[in-house]
Structure 1
């Protein structure tokens, strides 16, 4: 039975401000759990006695979980409702954050898997929530929640080392303390659990009730057979791969180049902080441009500048982290906006989101592990950065193709 939170049969009005607050608080939880890891990764390696490749799985394991879980989320959301599945995701996230921060070591991995499951759920349904409640403001709302996402990611990365050092709890407190944010988001969401699905801003009429996918001659074309859906998926996966490689390894690349841990942590903060600027600028341009081809290409070029800078002039990575932040912030806003812009309704947006995030995060999961293994094999970061440049060239191409003004239907 489908709960009213996902159907169009409105049962209760919820103020627009409360809906927006819920979206923003959920978004705040999407990256903080992951960006906290990079700055304390060396401490985790030393404390637990694990290799760089093994430690990188603390970032890659959630991404693998995203890939496995994402295809099933739209179907579960149809049965439970958007608000109910988001509430469940937040509960699982809080539990996972606590578990990975306490001994024994096995709980570090159990908690990491739970974090991956929860964020996979939230990642997939959040664009659908925006498409349903704000169908005429997809770029603006997506930009706002991406900016919040980047802000909390920046704070999480920036304070991880100072918090661990000040409390004497090393890496454990930074990895677990964000459970409180998940519970705050859950508290704001609770009044919305019995709401209907009429758009919160009254910008468009509600869609028809969600039912099982149609079959027969009127059924929509399967997304897996749509070239455009694959182009959106490629853009999502490549920009995610780029982001998670930098989040995982940039601090280590810098310390290996002789830059202090504190400075490297500050640069991680800048990377995530300038993602806010990229998010805001990109969301503003989406609303003004006829299509997103130029935006998609600019994202890739900006990231190429950052990677070339890190490769050729690592001593001024403070500059390249700013470029990487702007490109990364714009990239995630554009990728998430494409789920709504390239579909005709919120259920189709959820399906495209599930497909793109499943395949995309499979690529993203392989990135940090492959880069760690390549470094272990060559004892150099140069081959890894060259691979990153290749990824960014492909991102330019996929951004152009996915940015064309058309839909998958």
Structure 2
């Protein structure tokens, strides 16, 4: 283990990191509220668009473990700055896309350095917040930053941004500017604060990346956590990318109405993500995750069997899934073989497995939507994966209380 002093500038650094993560959420959600306009302009099918939307997650599978190692070796400062720049770069490249191939490459670019953002955040919590109560609260708070970015994007893109700029391409350039400003703030803050001091006394978990991966995967608790990560991102990416279009084409809403309902759901996601992780004690955290997966299953079922007039409120309830990612990070940081020494690699491994689900979710949803079974099959598939995630979370709970 490692002994740490409590850095006095930790919340300032936390705020700057959260700003970059906010722009990360914008990049993830940017195309979703403009999906129909982008498809019409580029002339691609739903299935092809699902393939493009999952491009960054596909690259994540390879780059996330490397990003974790990069962060452990190079440090948070340059790592998060590079990740933030990739957010802006990807948005600019998407704005310049002329077809499916160039759009896929633009979104894939986000997956090259984007893991430096998502893996830097837990690393910062592990190194700058030695108090576990502060750490749990902080994980919940920073995890809502991308949700806030995504919610604002959903809420303002159709009624405001497209009215201002009159082009989905110009909207993406504007959003890229937000990412660039957030990254600049991070660089300034990082170069002006006092860094934490640590005394490393547990080298067993560190070492080469391969050795660390084997060490982590030797834990049955971590293997269960990784399966939950797959199910979580299948659910999250599948719904976040396609829910606006599902509400438009399956439920019969206008783009503005769908965006408004999803914005309210985003507020629910923000509140859930900011509050629920604070209650994630070792005895409760896996049970909380199982309950949230169960809620997601009920939401998918509700969209399938209830009148379309109820689909807006049901989509709002689905916002509770916003607590799943911070809960998952809390469970990972509390796992038996994760320490400050290997937090970067552990989070890289977690995001690598999670993004297999992140690729599958949008791709499967789009492909099924193009079949005769349409969105019914897509929603049913998401419900099945969420059910499996909940069952494995319950298994993880039994494993923890038995050890």
- Provide the TM-score with structure 1 as the length reference: 0.87
Counterpart in the other structure of 1:355? 349
Counterpart in the other structure of 1:233? 226
Q: Are 2:146 and 1:149 aligned?
A: yes
For residues 25 and 17 of structure 1, the distance between their equivalents in structure 2, rounded to whole angstroms, comes to 12
| Distance apart, 1:185 and its partner CA | 2.4
Counterpart in the other structure of 1:95? 89
Distance change in 2, residues 1:141/1:172 (3 Å): same
| Distance apart, 1:167 and its partner CA | 2.8
| Distance apart, 1:193 and its partner CA | 4.2
Q: Name segments (4+ residues, structure 1) moved above 3 Å.
A: 7-10, 103-110, 193-197, 205-215, 218-221, 401-407
Q: Are 2:29 and 1:29 aligned?
A: no
| Distance apart, 1:299 and its partner CA | 0.9
| Distance apart, 1:122 and its partner CA | 1.0
CA deviations on 1:8-50 (whole Å, 9 max, x unpaired) are 999xx76233212122212212221121221111111111111
Name the structure with the higher helix share: 2
Q: Are 2:55 and 1:61 aligned?
A: yes
| Distance apart, 1:220 and its partner CA | 9.1
- Provide the TM-score with structure 2 as the length reference: 0.88
For residues 38 and 14 of structure 1, the distance between their equivalents in structure 2, rounded to whole angstroms, comes to 39
Counterpart in the other structure of 2:309? 315
Distance change in 2, residues 1:354/1:404 (3 Å): farther
Q: Are 2:108 and 1:113 aligned?
A: yes
Q: Are 2:75 and 1:81 aligned?
A: yes
| Distance apart, 1:340 and its partner CA | 1.2
CA deviations on 1:96-129 (whole Å, 9 max, x unpaired) are 2112112544653332122222322211221111
Of stretches 222-231 and 79-88 in structure 1, the one that deviates more from structure 2 is 222-231
Contact 1:142 1:333 in 2 (8 A): yes
CA deviations on 1:52-91 (whole Å, 9 max, x unpaired) are 1111233211111211210111221233112111111112
For residues 397 and 200 of structure 2, the distance between their equivalents in structure 1, rounded to whole angstroms, comes to 25
Counterpart in the other structure of 1:4? none
Contact 1:99 1:111 in 2 (8 A): yes
CA deviations on 1:348-398 (whole Å, 9 max, x unpaired) are 222221112101111221111112111212252111111111111111112
Which ranges of structure 2 fall in alignment gaps of 5 or more residues? none
Contact 1:255 1:261 in 2 (8 A): yes
Distance change in 2, residues 1:380/1:214 (3 Å): closer
| Distance apart, 1:266 and its partner CA | 1.3
| Distance apart, 1:283 and its partner CA | 1.9
| Distance apart, 1:344 and its partner CA | 4.3
- After superposition, the CA RMSD in angstroms is 2.9
Of stretches 155-164 and 305-314 in structure 1, the one that deviates more from structure 2 is 155-164
Distance change in 2, residues 1:405/1:195 (3 Å): farther
Aligned residue pair count:
392
For residues 245 and 139 of structure 1, the distance between their equivalents in structure 2, rounded to whole angstroms, comes to 27
Distance change in 2, residues 1:341/1:209 (3 Å): closer
| Distance apart, 1:309 and its partner CA | 1.1
SS of 2:253's partner is coil
For residues 77 and 182 of structure 1, the distance between their equivalents in structure 2, rounded to whole angstroms, comes to 20
Contact 1:150 1:272 in 2 (8 A): yes
Counterpart in the other structure of 1:300? 293
Q: Are 2:196 and 1:198 aligned?
A: yes
SS of 2:374's partner is coil
Distance change in 2, residues 1:312/1:350 (3 Å): same
Counterpart in the other structure of 1:176? 173
For residues 3 and 89 of structure 2, the distance between their equivalents in structure 1, rounded to whole angstroms, comes to 32
For residues 281 and 398 of structure 1, the distance between their equivalents in structure 2, rounded to whole angstroms, comes to 23
Which ranges of structure 1 fall in alignment gaps of 5 or more residues? 1-6, 200-204
Q: Are 2:129 and 1:131 aligned?
A: no
For residues 376 and 113 of structure 1, the distance between their equivalents in structure 2, rounded to whole angstroms, comes to 23
For residues 17 and 126 of structure 1, the distance between their equivalents in structure 2, rounded to whole angstroms, comes to 13
SS of 1:378's partner is coil
| Distance apart, 1:238 and its partner CA | 1.0
CA deviations on 1:273-301 (whole Å, 9 max, x unpaired) are 211111123122125x6341320111111
The one of 359, 365, 370 equivalent to 1:376 is 370
| Distance apart, 1:224 and its partner CA | 2.6
